[in-house]
Structure 1
Amino acid sequence: MVLDDTALKKFGFIPREPKDAINIDPLQTGGKLTEEARHALLEWGDGYSVCDFCGGVLDLIKKPPIDEFVHGILPEFLNIDAVRITHGARESKFAVMHSIAMEGDYVVMDELAHYSSVVAAQRARLNIKKVPHNGSPEYMTEAELYASAIEEVIKTTGKTPALAMLTYPDGNYGNIADVKRISKICHDYDVPMLLNGAYAVGRMPVDAKKLGADFVAGSGHKSMASSGPIGLLGVSEEYADIVFRKSPTNKNKEIELLGCTARGATIMTMMASFPYVVERVNKWDQEVENARWFAAKMEDMGIIQKGQKPHNHDLMFFEAPVLYEISQKAKKGRYFLYKELKERNIHGIKSGLTKYFKLSTFQVGRENLQYVLDSFQNIIDKYKT
């Protein structure tokens, strides 16, 4: 086969931009690799690297210590009975839905659920019942409305939903719903509860048994300083044999995981970063304090934090009428903010957004956050003079 040389020149090593910017993108702040993970990425990047040590079950590899990590450390970390590594939180959610529910069953989920939760349910051929939030300015998911949603499903179908799911926190406003109350309501109806912790596991303490979660989905590349795609799935003992059932023909392969999931660089970077992840989870109170401090300073400039107050997570949503007003007159229009921030080496607010945007303060630190605040003020002053 002969390929065009011009086309081939587009490939090879491609440097990433921006490389050293202050990053406030909610999708990226929790996924930045540690130095140990960067070394692991080089050491274990070959496609066969971990598979060389596999005797047939990936998560039972003794050396490197994947077995101890998956079956010992992670269940203790989440306080749940069984854990498996997956390709991401969405794969974790699908595995639960596909194994727990039958085609046509209902899953109840919050209105602010990530699109991947909806797609996972659709892929499993399930119906969806949404639990509404309370609207602006809080956009909070009310626990009691889970009972209403479950009752509506019972009234419509004659049976309870197969599953309930809560996004913890939601990916739009960073709200932390009353998961204990929601799980209690679900269990009163004998409905198991899945916690989508893509922005929680690896950032903040998550105790599945204390919260009442039967299942926990986590994201390594969003929140566990891992090279993605990678995630994890925690399952309580009651449902472990269902979710992790094995193939009748390939007896050591778990069906929902298609035998094997994340391997090579992904799992090795997760393990390499894990001591640091545990350390930062133990300092979560400081992250919340930084987020609240940052939000208050933004509001002093007329940029209003929407959602739960006082805020309990690093992910925040802002309404910025002052920036929107500038965008109506600025030469670069609605792209002015992105370009002004880029000139100041700040990355994370999507190009074209001025009136509404979200960001994260996670692991940015007070000094850099102050620089971000000063930059917003300088931009406002620049266009108001």
Structure 2
Amino acid sequence: MLDNLDKFTRLKRGTAGAINIDPLQRGGILTPEAREAIVEWADGYSVCDFCTGALDEIQNPPIREFVHQALPEFLDVDEVRITHGAREGMFAAMHSLCKRGETVVADGNVHYTTLLAAELSGLKVELVPASEKPHYRVDPEGYGEAIERAKNRGEKVGMAVLTYPDGNYGNLVDAEAVSEICHREEIPLMLNGAYSVGRMPISAKRLGADVIVGSGHKSMASSGPIGVLGASEELASLIFRRSKLVPNKEIEMLGCTLRGAGVLTMMASFPAVVERTKRWDEEVEKARWFAEEMERLGMSLQGDRPHHHDLMFFNSEVLYEISQTAKKGRYFLYRELKKRKIFGIKPGLTRRFKLSTYLLPREDLETVLSAFEEIVALHPKA
């Protein structure tokens, strides 16, 4: 193998000039300023050249101002740290705020990383069930019922988690209602904002979130993996506590988090990210228009109606039927879209798939709709 290493140098994505509809990537596409920053700061531990012991205290580049002033104001929360991603932020919060054996209550559309963070922290999980298709709704009142179920088993609930929105259907649960229930029970609420922080206006205090996590590479135009973790003043003193063995290091952060270009791309994109959240209503209207057009072609939107997010999940019996006889079977849709320079729907998916319209101009979305229309017209059904 070591005689044939050239393959590791030919790392082209092949997506230049294409339309990307992948929900994982739409909010993470770098701004021109971030692309400049990543080249300037790409070498290894470049940021650490300026560190005197605490990464978030670096003044030039202005990481200290970004972490301790700009991000707390943006999220409307007391304390913020940069993390390696939303999942690392969730783990840090659970590990520091809950005791092993306690229970975490979470929504039925929870992302798998929440479950892993709980498991690694030695916690049990009680889920608030989602309704049946096509809406998959989570009723805020279900949090009270889930808390009660756990208590009736003799368990202590250490935390509640709400995925806001969930990563499958883009459903936005009433976070304020969930918060009211949790706080009545004296249980802290953590919002997983991987698909909201950086896309839409978010106020942790208004929503009643004691802890909030976000994803830079999903929603803050950053080169990942990178995330943010915010907490109220009371909980921040526990989550961001100092090590007893290395007193200038925060133990849940393992001393330092991002030590390279990622944090600089987040900073470089931040002015544009702040501005785009002010136009969220336009993104929602565009997503609703696109969903209506897709349904005219035989695709069925799942989740909230009216929809409140750019992430959308479609069922498509028409494409599934075509896949039964099409060349390459269930991979035909991916190949047909690729021929038209459209990427983002995973290979092999035809019956159920996710996509995002975030920040795409209407003309690009019309191209996507035309592609689906052509594909349906060109292929006979089974």
TM over 0.5: yes
Q: CA deviation at 1:329?
A: 1.8
- Please name the residue that 2:51 is paired with: 54
Q: Which runs of 5+ in 1 are unaligned?
A: none
Q: CA deviation at 1:333?
A: 1.2
- Please name the residue that 1:83 is paired with: 80
Residues 225-259 of structure 1: CA deviation (Å, up to 9, x unaligned): 10111000000012111101101121110000001
Q: Residue 21 of structure 1: which of 18, 21, 41 is its match?
A: 18
In 1, Cα distance between the equivalents of 2:131 and 2:3?
57
Q: CA deviation at 1:62?
A: 0.6
- Say whether 1:186 aligns with 2:194: no
Instruction: State the secondary structure of the residue aligned to 1:217.
Output: strand
Instruction: State the secondary structure of the residue aligned to 1:28.
Output: helix
Q: CA deviation at 1:96?
A: 0.3
Q: Judge conservation of contact 2:217–2:227 (CA < 8 Å) in 1.
A: yes
Task: Name the amino acid aligned to 1:301.
Answer: L
Q: Judge conservation of contact 2:68–2:79 (CA < 8 Å) in 1.
A: yes
- Say whether 1:238 aligns with 2:229: no
- Say whether 1:362 aligns with 2:338: no
- Please name the residue that 1:100 is paired with: 97
Task: Name the amino acid aligned to 1:122.
Answer: E
Task: Name the amino acid aligned to 2:119.
Answer: Q
Aligned pairs for 1:272-287 (under 5 A) are: 272-287=268-283
Aligned pairs for 1:210-221 (under 5 A) are: 210-221=206-217
Residues 252-280 of structure 1: CA deviation (Å, up to 9, x unaligned): 10000001001220000000000111111
Q: CA deviation at 1:364?
A: 1.3
Alignment root-mean-square deviation, CA: 1.1
Q: What percent of counterpart residues are identical?
A: 58
Residues 190-225 of structure 1: CA deviation (Å, up to 9, x unaligned): 000000000000000110000000000000001001
Aligned pairs for 1:1-385 (under 5 A) are: 4-6=2-4, 8-157=5-154, 159=156, 161-384=157-380
Residues 133-183 of structure 1: CA deviation (Å, up to 9, x unaligned): 111111011100100000011111153x00000000000000000111001
In 1, Cα distance between the equivalents of 2:217 and 2:112?
17
Instruction: State the secondary structure of the residue aligned to 1:371.
Output: helix
Task: Name the amino acid aligned to 1:310.
Answer: P
In 2, Cα distance between the equivalents of 1:14 and 1:383?
33
In 2, Cα distance between the equivalents of 1:72 and 1:157?
42
Task: Name the amino acid aligned to 1:74.
Answer: L
What is the TM-score of this pair, normalised by structure 1? 0.97
Instruction: State the secondary structure of the residue aligned to 2:25.
Output: coil
Q: CA deviation at 1:331?
A: 2.1
Q: Which runs of 5+ in 2 are unaligned?
A: none
Q: CA deviation at 1:302?
A: 1.2
In 2, Cα distance between the equivalents of 1:337 and 1:129?
37
Q: CA deviation at 1:5?
A: 2.6
In 1, Cα distance between the equivalents of 2:16 and 2:123?
42
In 2, Cα distance between the equivalents of 1:336 and 1:4?
36
Query: Against the structure 1 CA distance between its residues 65 and 13, is the aligned structure 2 distance closer, same or farther, given a 3 Å change threshold?
Result: farther
In 2, Cα distance between the equivalents of 1:277 and 1:215?
21
Residues 27-61 of structure 1: CA deviation (Å, up to 9, x unaligned): 11111111110110010011131101101010001
What is the count of residue pairs matched by the alignment?
Answer: 381
Instruction: State the secondary structure of the residue aligned to 1:195.
Output: strand
In 2, Cα distance between the equivalents of 1:383 and 1:46?
49
Residues 51-106 of structure 1: CA deviation (Å, up to 9, x unaligned): 01101010001110000000000000000000000000000000000000011000
Instruction: State the secondary structure of the residue aligned to 1:216.
Output: strand
Q: CA deviation at 1:128?
A: 0.5
Instruction: State the secondary structure of the residue aligned to 1:59.
Output: helix
In 2, Cα distance between the equivalents of 1:231 and 1:283?
22
In 2, Cα distance between the equivalents of 1:102 and 1:4?
47
In 2, Cα distance between the equivalents of 1:150 and 1:311?
28
Instruction: State the secondary structure of the residue aligned to 2:360.
Output: coil
Instruction: State the secondary structure of the residue aligned to 1:33.
Output: coil
Q: CA deviation at 1:301?
A: 1.0
Task: Name the amino acid aligned to 1:354.
Answer: T
In 2, Cα distance between the equivalents of 1:15 and 1:352?
22
